[in-house]
Amino acid sequence: MSMKTAIQPTRSKDYPQWYQAVVQAAELAETGPVRGTMIMKPWGYALWELLQSYLDKEIKKRGHDNIYCPLFIPLSHMEREAKHVEGFAKECAVVTHTKLIEDKDGKLKPASPLEEPLIVRPTSEMIMGELFGRWVQSYRDLPILVNQWANIVRWEMRTRMYLRTSEFLWQEGHTAHATEKDARKHTKKMLDMYVDMCQNMLAMPVIPGEKSENERFPGAIETMTFEAMMQDGKALQLGTSHFLGQNFAKASKIQFQDKDGQMQYAWTTSWGTTTRLIGGLIMTHGDDDGLVLPPKLAKHQVVICPLLLKNSDHTAILTYCQELADSIAKKSLDNNHIRVHIDTSDKTGGEKNWYWVKKGVPIRIEVGNREVTSRTVSIKKRWENHKAQTMPIDDLVDEVQGLLEKAHKTLYKRAEDKLFEKMCWCENTTELWAHFKDKNAGFALTYWHEDNAIEKKLKEELAVTVRCLPYKTLLNKAKSGPCFYDNNKTGKLAILGRAY
């Protein structure tokens, strides 16, 4: 690492400010004109496109079709499922007019008030429910498996780019099934898909588990989550998969005739992930020099920086770089050609280097006259340090796929090590309160008997929530044991932590 870091402040100095500085330095986003909104800039949007392209294929492989439902929901439709509305009413953008007119002073003001206000979708359960109600008649129509890529609006009070914005992009899957068993199985299947995505694309270890009743999606019977730990020890919920039981089917009359001719309500699920994945990516892998990209999410996996001296002939260098780029682009990572870019800008070598460091490009290659003459390259690996390594051009071409694979594995392992370093077993209240004295304490693993009062106390005194009841055992603990709060009661294995 260089002594002077590219990002100020550093992580240890001020983590939230470091985060904003990385978003800016890597040109991922800037704030929009409306409070809490953001503009996704090319380098940030490219991350979303790569995630989207991967996830869209995975969703389709599992039998879903994409559809598109309207942005606006009539107010009266929101009212049908009481719990659901309660959960969203406080954060809805409401359209009340459909025209603008000029007042006496030439200022624009809203006109043509709507008879019934429209809600900008905070999620699409209600509209999908209505749709499914029309589509489903017989057990032969089930299951219905659809997905939608869309923008969502929730009027959040505290916003932060890529973590919580008033408008965000997501995918939302919605399904209806004939039996409870099928629906529950599907909910888990989609959670597993997300966990695989985190491992395969984002190089992020996550803990999948069940949400406590308090943390469930409004109207859900069960909410499955996958939680990651950021470098400051805080949890980030990256997405959820909900088993909705028959709640939405009853509200929207999704009924079908079963094989015996009996009318039944369907069982529905929904599941989604958002642009928040990018926030998680930044905070999992980023360092004090900026973004660090896992190779499969890098728009440019390799950037070649020719050292173009002023007033000299660049032909030989540029030809050499193009030859190198062409050879690398023929190689593949995960069945995709390796994405390589030549930076021909008129920046100096140092400027080019730091530009791509901050953007997190996995492999940077410097080519000057010396490299051309000796048919070598000077490479720097973003996931290791900034020390240059010289190697013959042919060796690099042979090894580039292996290097990128190694980058992915290294980032995953590093994040996993951090996660377990910062996960602490807490036997009782004393240990738990002691653990969370540290502002940057990581997760606490403990046994908890599902009790609202304890959750409330944790939140009020420690700003800690139950992140999930993990599906797998952790730290070799059994799945249940004496509750940390009251040893006479049996609790379930639970992850507790502060969260974004």
Binding residues (CB under 8 A) for its own copies: these are: 30, 32-34, 37-42, 45-46, 48-49, 65-75, 77-79, 85, 89-102, 107-110, 112, 117-120, 127, 130-131, 134, 146, 150-151, 153, 155, 166-167, 169
Closest distance to its own copies from the beta carbon of 160 (Å): 15
- Complex with its own copies: residue 102 or 334, whichever CB lies closer: 102
CB 228 within 8 A of CB 208: no
Q: How far apart are CA 136 and CA 241, in angstroms?
A: 22
Phi, psi of 340 (to 5 degrees): -125, 145
- Complex with its own copies: residue 3 or 108, whichever CB lies closer: 108
- Complex with its own copies: residue 2 or 332, whichever CB lies closer: 332
Q: Is 368 helix (H, G, I), strand (E, B) or coil?
A: coil
- Complex with its own copies: residue 305 or 454, whichever CB lies closer: 305
Instruction: Enter the tokens of residue 479.
Output: 């799945």
- Complex with its own copies: residue 167 or 343, whichever CB lies closer: 167
- Complex with its own copies: residue 129 or 306, whichever CB lies closer: 129
Phi, psi of 282 (to 5 degrees): -60, -45
Closest distance to its own copies from the beta carbon of 131 (Å): 6
Closest distance to its own copies from the beta carbon of 96 (Å): 5
Q: How far apart are CA 282 and CA 202, in angstroms?
A: 10
CB 59 within 8 A of CB 103: no
CB 206 within 8 A of CB 298: no
- Complex with its own copies: residue 347 or 449, whichever CB lies closer: 347
Q: How far apart are CA 474 and CA 481, in angstroms?
A: 13
How close are the terminal C-alpha atoms of the chain, in Å? 29
Q: How far apart are CA 409 and CA 360, in angstroms?
A: 16
Closest distance to its own copies from the beta carbon of 324 (Å): 22
Closest distance to its own copies from the beta carbon of 303 (Å): 16
Closest distance to its own copies from the beta carbon of 237 (Å): 22
Closest distance to its own copies from the beta carbon of 93 (Å): 5
- Complex with its own copies: residue 39 or 475, whichever CB lies closer: 39
Closest distance to its own copies from the beta carbon of 214 (Å): 22
Going by C-alpha positions, the residue among 456, 469, 471, 460 that lies closest to residue 496 is: 469
Strands 222-229 and 332-333: unpaired
Closest distance to its own copies from the beta carbon of 460 (Å): 25
Q: Where on the phi/psi map is residue 381: left (φ > 0), alpha (ψ -120 to 50), or beta?
A: beta
Helix (H) or strand (E) holding 102: strand 94-102
Q: How far apart are CA 494 and CA 496, in angstroms?
A: 6
CB 499 within 8 A of CB 459: no
Radius of gyration, alpha carbons of the chain: 26
- Complex with its own copies: residue 149 or 471, whichever CB lies closer: 149
